[in-house]
Amino acid sequence: MQYRILGKTGLEVSILGFGASPLGNVFDPVDEKEGISAVHYALDQGVNFFDVSPFYGLTLAESRLGKALEGKRKDIILASKCGRYDLQDFDFSRKRILKSIDESLTRLKTDYLDLFQLHDIEFVDKRIILEEAIPAIQEVVASGKARFWGITGLPVRYLAQIARETNPDTVLSWGHYNLLEDEINDELVPLSQEMGFGLMNAAPLMQRILSDGSLPPWHRSPDEVKAMQPILLELCKSYGVRLSDVALRYAMDHELIATTIVGMCELDVVKQNVAALDFEIPSELLEKIETLLAPVKNRMWFEGKEENNI
């Protein structure tokens, strides 16, 4: 396993991060024992960064991850979030954030988080984030219930704007560095180097488009982007490799991104993802993929308030 420093936190995180959202049945129903075995296998292979949220499975993912990590807390870097609790349930008030940390700690069976993050900040007014949420999350850090704090979201330019104004310890961007998207490089990557915050990337498989998994019905990519999946699968098959291995290795190779968080919860999938650490993408294949995807590159959808999608 390779590790990188998570910006000014000084934490050494595995370049493969364990995204625990699937433990909450976000994609498909998951057997709890299988999920716990998957977590243990990841730990045994050197994965030390685990990211979760009360939103995932409406607290189910946190509860299951807490069970899986019981007795193993000292071996991991644990991150959770606050502010988003359901598809349309956002509450970034001081009262809710201070309550949220205690609820998450209980479910995760620990007395502190390494990283506490504001979840999907683009869905509420900027004023709420600046005037209430960030002072509250900083209060949590001051209390010792979290070591560091960060922001997460989809619009990369808005994340950069908020980072400039608030100086977070970390920024988690999802969906903006993978074979289909590279907008993280425009502003967030150089800003992370300038300001020193730890930069994390999630969704390297673009919610299954860049894998052989069936796409969830709620997937919001344009149809022409979704239509690339079978074409890419066939191309990778002709080279005797898996599309997901190519996509994951591609994302993890970005040296200025500390960790690439991929959702996983089945033992076979975790084994496959870990194996991708030793995988090398055939250069000819990568060139063909990039040519194929050029017409649909950076076709990201928008989420949150319109004024926050700058």
Selected catalytic residue, list 3, 56, 158, 250 = 56
pLDDT digit of tens for each residue in the chain (310 aa)? 999 999 999 999 999 999 999 999 888 888 999 999 999 999 999 999 999 999 999 999 999 999 999 999 998 999 999 999 999 999 999 999 999 999 999 999 999 999 999 999 999 999 999 999 999 999 999 999 999 999 999 999 999 999 999 999 999 999 999 999 999 999 999 999 999 999 999 999 999 999 998 898 889 999 999 999 999 999 999 999 999 999 999 999 999 999 999 999 999 999 999 999 999 999 999 999 999 999 999 999 999 999 999 7
- In angstroms, the CA 188 to CA 159 distance is 8
Q: What is the pTM of this model?
A: 0.96
Rg (CA), the chain: 18
81 CB-near residues (< 8 Å, 6+ apart): 52, 53, 54, 55, 116, 117, 118, 119, 152
- Please tell me what DSSP assigns to residue 304: S
- In angstroms, the CA 231 to CA 179 distance is 14
Per DSSP, the three-state class of 78 is strand
For this structure, is 112 an active site residue? no
* Domains of the chain: residue spans and CATH: 3-308 (3.20.20.100)
Burial code (b: 16+ CB inside 10 Å, e: under 16) for 73-103 equals eeebbbbbbbbbbeeeebbbbeebbbebbeb
Estimate to the nearest angstrom the gap between the alpha carbon of 241 and the chain centroid. 24
